[in-house]
Every structure is written in structure tokens, then in C-alpha cells.
Amino acid sequence: MEKNKVILLTGAAGFIGSYLLGYLNKQGYKNIIIVDDFSEEDKWFNFDSKDFIAKVEREELFDWLKREEPEIDFVFHLGARTDTTEFDYTIHEKLNVEYSKNIWNYCTERNIPLVYASSAATYGGGELGYKDDHGLVERLHPLNPYGVSKNEFDKWVLQQTEGHTASHPPFWAGLKFFNVYGPNEYHKGRMASVIFHSFNQIKSTGKVKLFRSHRPDFKDGQQLRDFIYVEDVAKVCYWLMEHTIISGLYNLGTGKARTFEDLVKATFAGIGKEPAIEYIDIPEDIRDKYQYFTEADMNKLRNAGYKDSFYTLEEGVGDYVKKFLLLRNYY
């Protein structure tokens, strides 16, 4: 059944945004305004077969909104510069902070609920843990300019929601995405998930190269991440649109860290091959910014009422490899 709600979705040509677009279509939502930099041809397959009512270039969005004055019911702001190896902060500041402030202010002025993408990169080395507590945000020390930009916007958001001068949308949620993987990341190059790179290495060489540990407390391949399948990310985004919960920052991972070795073994299993793993040094330019452990504290979202289980690593990787990577399918 088609649903009438008009949704604005930024980052719609990207990995998570295009998946969410397809997911919303499957739930009956077709009145979607998609926003992105649509100049990259290798992203076209992410969205070209999906349903939407308008396609707006990222740089033209606010002029377009002023001119067209659409009646928007909900905004998903997933557009961002996500390259953690881009060290020019001015690029991240423009796209991840200033642009996001404009989205926030637009939603505030027009009373539109907003879900936006934050990141687990805000937690830095994890010295303060991985709890989505508003009181920790000012004390976090992200390890790269991308993480800094995401945390700067979170800090600004919290300033907008406090005191007698509070100015915010009727509902808002900033989602701290952990390590998201899944279909529609073919265009991402170096920034694609380890599963994507592992799959391609197995197909071309029969083995996978993983980063060696440069810390005595972690064995090679035992570095831990909270890997979350993009289907679960889309489900949570959709659930937030459909349910009224307390506004705030929310972690979005599975709550269970897994090793890179586990991940690679699951990739080999999806292809039907025996694991063959080699270890290489972490490149010098990212070695001091490398996270050895991330794990989302998911109590806040659970306590807010989200009950669905998350894909296990084996389930998610198996689904991704068999339904998408082996067939070069898009979602």
C-alpha cells in the first residue's frame, strides 16, 4: 500500500542512503525527495531503479526548497563526507557541520522531525567507552577530521536543545553508526567495508590480507569492531520515523564486537572456500588513528522500545556475499 508521507533524504546516491531509499520504497513510501551530488556515474545504479518524486543536487537544495516550498513530513539527513583518510578539515566542516546546521535549522523552522547520521568515529580511541550519553560528547577526542566534524555537529545540536533558548525539530535523533556493511558500496573504493575488499581479494588471489596488530594486547586479526548489516540500519531509521521516542543521540551497532578474523572467515564461508589469511602492516598514515576495539552500548535504543534482533555477523555477511556480491546485485 502506498503511503502519502513526503520524505526528504540526503545522501540518497550513497551506500546507506540508497539502501534506505529502497527500504522505504518496499514499505510503500514513494514520495521521496532525494538529495546528493549526482555527478558520480558509478553511484547511479544505487538509485536509478528506485521510486522518488524529485532529485535535487546537494549544492542546490536550499534554493530549491525556498523556490518549491514542498510540504515535507520527515527528513533523513545521511549525506556527508565520510572519507576518514581526508585530512583537510575544511571539507568536512563544510559538508558535515555547516550543511547539517542548515538542515537542522530548516527542520526546526518548519517543525519537521529529523534523523541524521552521526558516527562511532566520534568516540576516538574509546578511552571513555562507547556509551551514547550526552554528558560525554564534549569530552570525546575523535582520531581523524571526519570524526571531529561529526562530533562538532553533535555538540552544536546538544547546545540547540538546552535551556530557555532551545531551538530544535519536534523530534530528532542523531545515529552513531558503527561499522556498517552491505550492498550498494561498490563505488566507495578504499572506504568500502572490509567484507567488500575481502571478497574481491578472495576472487582475485584466493586469500585475504588483514592488518597486523601493532599492539601487544591484541593478536593479529583479533582487532574488534561492532559490524552492523545495513538492513538493520534501515530498519532502525524506519522505526524511528514510525515511532515517537525521546529525542537524542543513539548508538547504532549490534552491541557485540567481533574480530576481523571472524569477519573474513564468514566471507570465505559465503563464497564456499576455506579461509586463507595473510597479515600486513597498518599503513603509517593511519596507524596512530587506528581503532582496535569498538562496541556499541545499545541500552538506550533498546530502552526506547526497539525490540528487533540484529543480524549476526555470519547471517549478515552470508546474505551480502550470496545475494549481492557474488551476483554483483544492487539493493
Look up the CATH number of the domain holding residue 173.
3.40.50.720
Is 175 a domain residue?
Answer: yes
State the alpha helices, DSSP H only, in 222-309: 230-242, 260-271, 284-287, 299-303
pLDDT at 88: 82
Same domain assignment for residues 120 and 199: no
Task: Give the containing element (helix H, strand E) for 32.
Answer: strand 32-36
pLDDT at 287: 85
Is 237 a domain residue?
Answer: yes
pLDDT at 26: 97
Same domain assignment for residues 215 and 243: no
Same domain assignment for residues 28 and 111: yes
Whole-angstrom Cα distance, residue 32 to residue 14?
15
Same domain assignment for residues 74 and 191: no
Which sequence positions are flagged as catalytic? 146, 188
Same domain assignment for residues 108 and 215: no
Same domain assignment for residues 289 and 232: no
Number of structural domains the chain divides into: 2
Sign of CA dihedral 300, 306, 307, 313: negative
Query: How long, in residues, is the chain?
Result: 331
Whole-angstrom Cα distance, residue 83 to residue 78?
14
Amino acid at 126: G
Task: Give the containing element (helix H, strand E) for 68.
Answer: helix 61-68
Is 331 a domain residue?
Answer: no
pLDDT at 89: 85
**What's the CATH number where 261 sits?**
3.90.25.10
Nearest Cα neighbor of 319 from 28, 21, 19 is 19
Nearest Cα neighbor of 22 from 286, 315, 276, 233 is 233
Write phi, then psi, for 147 (nearest 5 degrees): -60, -40
Sign of CA dihedral 70, 73, 77, 78: negative
Distances from the Cα of 249 to the Cα of 57, 133, 300, angstroms: 28, 8, 9
The β-bridge relationship of strands 32-36 and 172-177 is unpaired
Is 330 a domain residue?
Answer: no
pLDDT at 8: 98
Question: Can you point out the beta strands (E) in 182-252?
Answer: 208-211, 224-225, 227-229, 248-252
Same domain assignment for residues 133 and 192: no
DSSP string, 18-70: HHHHHHHHHTTB--EEEEE-TT-GGGHHHHTTS--SEEEEGGGHHHHHHHH--
Same domain assignment for residues 157 and 265: no
Whole-angstrom Cα distance, residue 134 to residue 75?
22
Same domain assignment for residues 115 and 208: no
Same domain assignment for residues 116 and 248: yes
Is 212 a domain residue?
Answer: yes
Same domain assignment for residues 163 and 100: yes
Same domain assignment for residues 176 and 37: yes
**41: number of Cβ within 10 Å:** 8
Write out the chain's pLDDT in tens, 331 residues.
678 999 999 999 999 999 999 999 999 999 999 999 999 899 999 999 999 999 999 999 999 999 999 999 999 999 988 777 677 888 888 889 999 999 999 999 999 999 999 999 999 989 999 999 999 999 999 988 999 999 999 999 999 998 788 899 999 999 999 999 999 999 998 889 999 999 999 999 999 999 999 999 999 999 999 999 999 999 999 999 999 899 999 999 999 999 999 999 999 999 999 999 999 999 888 888 788 999 999 999 999 999 999 999 999 999 999 999 999 999 9
pLDDT at 113: 98
pLDDT at 234: 98
Residue numbers of the domain that contains 205 = 184-224+257-293+318-325
Task: Give the containing element (helix H, strand E) for 66.
Answer: helix 61-68
The β-bridge relationship of strands 258-259 and 224-225 is antiparallel
Whole-angstrom Cα distance, residue 135 to residue 129?
13
Q: Give the dihedral of Cα atoms 48, 53, 55, 58; nearest 10 deg.
A: -130
Q: In what order do the strands lie in the sheet with 54-57?
A: 54-57, 32-36, 7-10, 74-77, 114-119, 172-177, 248-252
pLDDT at 45: 95
Whole-angstrom Cα distance, residue 308 to residue 178?
18
pLDDT at 97: 95
Task: Give the containing element (helix H, strand E) for 105.
Answer: helix 99-110
Whole-angstrom Cα distance, residue 238 to residue 251?
15
CB 174 within 8 Å of CB 319: no
pLDDT at 91: 84
Is 289 a domain residue?
Answer: yes
